[in-house]
Structure 1
Amino acid sequence: MNIDKIVKLIRYTAGLPKSIYVNLRLLPLSQAVFLPIIVSRKTKLRSLSGKVQLSTVKTGIVRIGFGGSDMMDYSYERTILKITGKIHFQGKTKIGVGAKIMVSGNLTLGNRFDITGDAMIICAKEIEIGNNTMIAWQSILMDTDQHAIYNAQHTVINQDKKITIGNNVWIGARSLILKGSVIPDGCIVGANTTITKPFSTKKSIIAGNPAKILKENISWNH
């Protein structure tokens, strides 16, 4: 066994008490005994009062607080998990070191979903992400403005809006995906891009601020 595998085993073992707690808190006992959710000991648990649904129950199919890019330092980075709403894991999920997941609405993560590390998802209403989708470091997904804005009639004018991300999507580093955004299947979002609206062209490169389509009929491998 090489040194990387030994380190990984040590980290999984160190996180076992917290993993057991998370599974028992979020899942029925019939599922929790298989430990489908593995959590790093360095994951901060802000709240687990919400619900989790699993399409597949298999040991370690959801891993939180492990891995990530070479820029992430496991010794100093801390993953944060706050679930007061509902998360539906539709398959294999990797949430890397330093990621922040805050869910008070409904979050759906497709099979082979991957956050490389130090990214943030804030879900107050609904965020739906398809299969084989990757989010690079320091990106932010928010379906809410966090604070209400009122008009003269005291009506809220900045309602939360659903974010929809298709299958086989790559979101580049430091991207900002805001409420009402739609990213179709097969797209790449360039680094440091801000998206605030729906796009409809599949297999395209979307980049810039404001975001626009730069190329079409592209493909990439996860």
Structure 2
Amino acid sequence: RTRMGQNQTSIKKEKLDDLGNKTHFTQKQLKELNKQFRKESPSGTISQDEFNEAMNLMGVVDPFLQNLVFKVFDKSKTGTITFSDFVNGLSIMTKGTQEEKLKFAFEMYDLDESGYISKEEMTKILESFYKLIGPSDDNPLATFSGKKYDAPQQLVDEIFEQMDVSGDGKISLAEYQEGAIKNPDIIQGLKLFSES
């Protein structure tokens, strides 16, 4: 029994080392996050309902947006979020590089996981963001390239005009990243994910 316990401890250390290499958290932060995660979720996983409750507390009450964020966190596609899934997603949202945050947002927008964002997908997302933030002047999504947009569809058309370089009616990850560098307003919109 002692030996088995030692193995479990060493696996835990290996997992923490692995997460330390893959995330922007220190070992100490990971241990604290693990402690909190285990306290809140003794089963070792978070269900979609539990995740949605947490999102509600953070002010994200739109079920569609909750599902999008859950989908990106649930890397293992099990319908639950493990500690690894949680830490990886949290790391990107709170401490991620611009490139990581762009990839995270791209994965959210790519509803059917085709590797591309269609106009329909982006319209659905922006409609939800507009509902969340409202059409106010300080809405970072309502302004793009120095112009103001009252409706999500107008904004989608402008984004596609500027970002769909290949003209195939869809945006690839490379086009999205390149477009975001050329249009800092997209980066501004991503701050929704990192500032709470």
- The answer to whether TM tops 0.5 is no
User: Which is bigger in relative contact order (C-alpha 8 A, separation at least 6)?
Assistant: 2
Q: TM-score, normalised by structure 2?
A: 0.28
Structure whose alpha-carbon radius of gyration is higher:
2
